[in-house]
Structure 1
């Protein structure tokens, strides 16, 4: 298809196809939404009056092992772009390589940390070589979808808020190079190499707008990330940004003739181990389950006045269904599950997860690692702050206590003869921003002492809980007849007697662990909240029996009453968050750059 002219920023207003154009954007990340629901979420975006979709590209999902790329199923970026195009949505692509995005390690793959000298987001060759390889693979997939090729991509933002990191002044010139001069024919060369400065904020400050005008006169002004809500952290409060306050700021932005991108329009779900620090929903205009909110309706009413034609009718919301509680009847001790993992290996010294010789020598990215060594006495155990991030400590498989960044010492009871001391270390997630990205190695990252003596001679088990691992050990699960040992896996069945619908799983009385449905990792559960339920997409269920598998770290309240008591997971139609608070994000401006066609 021959196109007239792409996005231009040659005056105080954008133009597209030689016509004035205001970006009314919204962020929906394909990797946070089940593929079956991509079209539903984008139709609802279109019906809200939004004309431009923005999405990040998570390197860590697309290249889980060095040189092994995954763009299939829920990671089929090309299919996502085709849906956007079919609905008449333009696209701003944010390919990274670093994306922040409230996503584990800012989207960077953990195997980068196998290099002990790694310097992320710099021109260090170990990093730039990996970036070039990934961009060569990514760009050849998305190039056909750029505007000049008849596709929906009108702009690209490489990297993310680098000014707050800025360890290498040669880095940003480098990062443009693989994107715009890739080895795969044209790359994004037909996009302008000039970068438009944009801003991010939640509360309007006219001085920020004036500053943008000063550094970039006679250019379009855009809020690339208007924070429509905020993320939640484990153990914290659920953040709520009132709908009326949000829309009043959006109204003022539009009155100033600015473009805007709502971050987020739909927060989706951080499935699997991606909900380490940052939980789902974001208090966005479209809820985690795709429901309309007050924010949505107020925005739709506002945006409708910026369109010449009536907005599309509202698509129907997804049906939801509550189910009978699941009685958990089967159990597998954590210790027995190690028969289904890769073979353990010996190491004289502790070794961090990323350097373990597993996953084709790409190391372990997520999950748990068990470190075992032999001791001959009790005494004071000191982690030397070398546990990342949280360790359950056992002596001969009997629980002793927890070590983490707060608690670095505990007492190991005395005993006779040689005993096995075990550290079950949980990777609680890598930070997604800040100056410590290079330090995000997990597991035992250094020496641990018992009575001031450094422990040596470890046997190490990797427990990354990938789908293949879950399938392998299911056959080992047995009927729960006695008081179970912990940590453990528990299995029950959810019977669905008709077409599956969305639901939520609630685990009252449970403590901490991970929940799987039909082999899919829904995410972590932790009783400290604020999230008290996990979203179960209908397409992940099927008619008949569905496998529900829970990994629980420690003794549950359900077992205190009597030894043979069974316990339940309840299935509800609604999400539950506690400790609701009104959130007022402090005035804050960040500068980011946008490459336009």
Structure 2
């Protein structure tokens, strides 16, 4: 039997099985899509004329605690890849270990930061040891799915955008060898923006480029670096991500298809990032910090051709019309959309204050000095990764409370459980009310998302990361409560005593209501009019954060996460509950800005 010839880059054009091949790719992240919808999203991808799926692999989900691995259920990467093959798609795998992806810490697990000497994305032994252990588990699962073994994986990416980070000239060689030594034999490639092309590569690996606009000679630079090699735009940015407090980014469909058309006419291959963005459920959204810290929203709609909830957009239809010209056989017809529902509004019926919920949290840890959430001795000593951390200490006076920018990222401040203000990276000083007797100072600190891109990866500890001063004197002797709002914590609290809404409401707090669904559950969007900031859980699933500053106005609730009959909705609200949870058929993205005229997208 003749050996299968995989993807080759030995001339100006790719070949697959010895025949000319053009990558018409699109990115979908299995971890941002409910598993029940994997097939739907991939069918819609295939019907658009896409022939190759690309996906990142998030290390922090697959190894949430050191040595504890999860490749089941919605994290069953093998099942996702096999489904792509079943539906006629090739696969480019992007296993990292760093993925960026507007994902907390770029997909790196936060427990790495417990090592005080940690140097992420380098050949520091503490990092490579952890990568080796992870890759042992991951590559064992995916190597058998390579093209040479009869599977759909035709290429594997070596790390991600290292040229924009470059701190160790041995690192990319190490990652390449880590892949090859574990049985990865398909075409290897790197992915960088134009500025990173020079130092992001590694010998024997194909360089590819990330861009949105054809300017500054980007494609010419790539061609000059690799004469007689095929051109691949590994990330053609179909839109852009959003941060809290700023407009929703849009990229005109006509401009997108004009650039893609020109790239294809030049003979290049493309991969749309994103084809379908999905949702950064839970606390997984990242942040950007290029001088100012900006946390990202939970929606990862990305203004992509396929919307957050799987709807076709104008971009989809224009792209399909364009890509069908590059197929010799007709592409499949797009499948029908899922129905959505606007359910009856839910009146919140019960509440429990944060203070009452502490009895269901981990036993508080006593610490003489401030301690970051990653260094808390919880979760088998892997520390706390996400959510909130409550720090309490005793004060004997009022006066000036100064964070010295040691709060990461946002703290609600209380004296004897009475709210007195907010400290964050913008507001670092707060006046505490006068008082002579001993009182309890409480700081509820939220990890709003770790930076996923840039130089600051090693400095992404959250919680209290240094001294907090009261009248120029460091505070000491803290009781620290981990409030990461895991399913086990929620289950314990739900079995406790809740108060009716007729009683005095205390903030922050948990608010509970019941959604009754008749018949087959359908997708919907949750809206929280009158609420301020918090997190929403439905039947134990964390839908993500909401914040009245926008731009995101509602949260996507997938139908498969509902059940016929009664469904429990729990909202953790920091400061002001609206009392009613309403539903909408379509999302609201808030005010918009044209990303094609936004300089930031050309930087990274």
- Unaligned runs of 5+ residues in structure 1 are 559-566, 592-597
Aligned to 1:278: 296
Would you say 1:393 and 2:405 are equivalent positions? no
**Counterpart-to-counterpart distance in 1, 2:364 and 2:108:** 27
**Counterpart-to-counterpart distance in 2, 1:68 and 1:588:** 36
- 3-state SS in 2 of match to 1:290: coil
List per-residue Cα deviations over 1:116-146 (Å, max 9, x = no partner).
1100000100000000000000000101100
Aligned to 1:152: 152
Retained in 2: the 8 A contact 1:199–1:589? Answer: no
Would you say 1:211 and 2:221 are equivalent positions? yes
**Counterpart-to-counterpart distance in 2, 1:412 and 1:549:** 32
Q: TM-score with structure 1 length normalisation? A: 0.95
Matches of residues 380-529 of structure 1 in structure 2 within 5 Å? 380-476=400-496, 477-529=498-550
List per-residue Cα deviations over 1:147-204 (Å, max 9, x = no partner).
111000000002111011111101111111211113xxxx214556821111111111
What's the CA shift for 1:522?
0.1
Would you say 1:547 and 2:568 are equivalent positions? yes
1:439 and 1:520, CA in 2 relative to 1: closer, same or farther beyond 3 A? same
What's the CA shift for 1:14?
0.1
**Counterpart-to-counterpart distance in 1, 2:223 and 2:279:** 36
What's the CA shift for 1:346?
0.6
**Counterpart-to-counterpart distance in 2, 1:576 and 1:188:** 43
> Number of aligned pairs?
578
List per-residue Cα deviations over 1:389-438 (Å, max 9, x = no partner).
11111111111111111111111111241111111100011000100100
Larger RCO, structures 1/2 (Cα 8 Å, 6+ apart): 1
Aligned to 2:19: 19
What's the CA shift for 1:303?
0.4
Matches of residues 352-363 of structure 1 in structure 2 within 5 Å? 352-363=372-383
Pick which of 204-213 and 342-351 moved more. 204-213
What's the CA shift for 1:581?
2.2
Would you say 1:222 and 2:232 are equivalent positions? yes
1:82 and 1:208, CA in 2 relative to 1: closer, same or farther beyond 3 A? same
**Counterpart-to-counterpart distance in 2, 1:413 and 1:590:** 45
Retained in 2: the 8 A contact 1:202–1:587? Answer: no
Would you say 1:235 and 2:231 are equivalent positions? no
**Counterpart-to-counterpart distance in 2, 1:132 and 1:89:** 29
**Counterpart-to-counterpart distance in 1, 2:41 and 2:528:** 28
**Counterpart-to-counterpart distance in 1, 2:343 and 2:43:** 29
List per-residue Cα deviations over 1:517-566 (Å, max 9, x = no partner).
0000000000000000100000000001100000000134x4xxxxxxxx
**Counterpart-to-counterpart distance in 2, 1:589 and 1:401:** 38
- 3-state SS in 2 of match to 1:131: helix
**Counterpart-to-counterpart distance in 1, 2:242 and 2:54:** 22
Aligned to 2:197: none
What's the CA shift for 1:588?
7.2
Retained in 1: the 8 A contact 2:212–2:237? Answer: yes
Would you say 1:85 and 2:101 are equivalent positions? no
Aligned to 1:118: 118
**Counterpart-to-counterpart distance in 1, 2:499 and 2:441:** 27
1:21 and 1:351, CA in 2 relative to 1: closer, same or farther beyond 3 A? same
1:114 and 1:583, CA in 2 relative to 1: closer, same or farther beyond 3 A? same
Structure 1 runs of 4+ aligned residues shifted over 6 Å read 587-591
Retained in 2: the 8 A contact 1:329–1:491? Answer: yes
Would you say 1:188 and 2:200 are equivalent positions? no
What's the CA shift for 1:586?
4.1
- 3-state SS in 2 of match to 1:274: coil
Aligned to 1:107: 107
Q: TM-score with structure 2 length normalisation? A: 0.94
What's the CA shift for 1:275?
2.9
Aligned to 1:562: none
Retained in 2: the 8 A contact 1:199–1:590? Answer: no
Matches of residues 1-20 of structure 1 in structure 2 within 5 Å? 4-20=4-20
**Counterpart-to-counterpart distance in 2, 1:120 and 1:581:** 34
**Counterpart-to-counterpart distance in 1, 2:35 and 2:102:** 20
What's the CA shift for 1:589?
7.0
**Counterpart-to-counterpart distance in 2, 1:111 and 1:336:** 29
- 3-state SS in 2 of match to 1:219: coil
Aligned to 1:255: 265
**Counterpart-to-counterpart distance in 2, 1:516 and 1:109:** 23
1:354 and 1:487, CA in 2 relative to 1: closer, same or farther beyond 3 A? same
**Counterpart-to-counterpart distance in 1, 2:322 and 2:3:** 30
Retained in 1: the 8 A contact 2:90–2:152? Answer: yes
Retained in 2: the 8 A contact 1:272–1:524? Answer: yes
- 3-state SS in 1 of match to 2:341: coil
- Unaligned runs of 5+ residues in structure 2 are 189-202, 287-294
**Counterpart-to-counterpart distance in 1, 2:105 and 2:592:** 27
Retained in 2: the 8 A contact 1:208–1:589? Answer: no
**Counterpart-to-counterpart distance in 1, 2:423 and 2:374:** 20
Retained in 2: the 8 A contact 1:200–1:589? Answer: no
Pick which of 191-200 and 255-264 moved more. 191-200
**Counterpart-to-counterpart distance in 2, 1:2 and 1:64:** 42
Retained in 2: the 8 A contact 1:506–1:533? Answer: yes
What's the CA shift for 1:470?
0.7
**Counterpart-to-counterpart distance in 1, 2:600 and 2:231:** 18
Retained in 2: the 8 A contact 1:200–1:590? Answer: no
**Counterpart-to-counterpart distance in 2, 1:333 and 1:547:** 18
Retained in 2: the 8 A contact 1:203–1:586? Answer: no
What's the CA shift for 1:287?
0.3
Retained in 2: the 8 A contact 1:100–1:432? Answer: yes
- 3-state SS in 1 of match to 2:490: helix
Would you say 1:172 and 2:172 are equivalent positions? yes
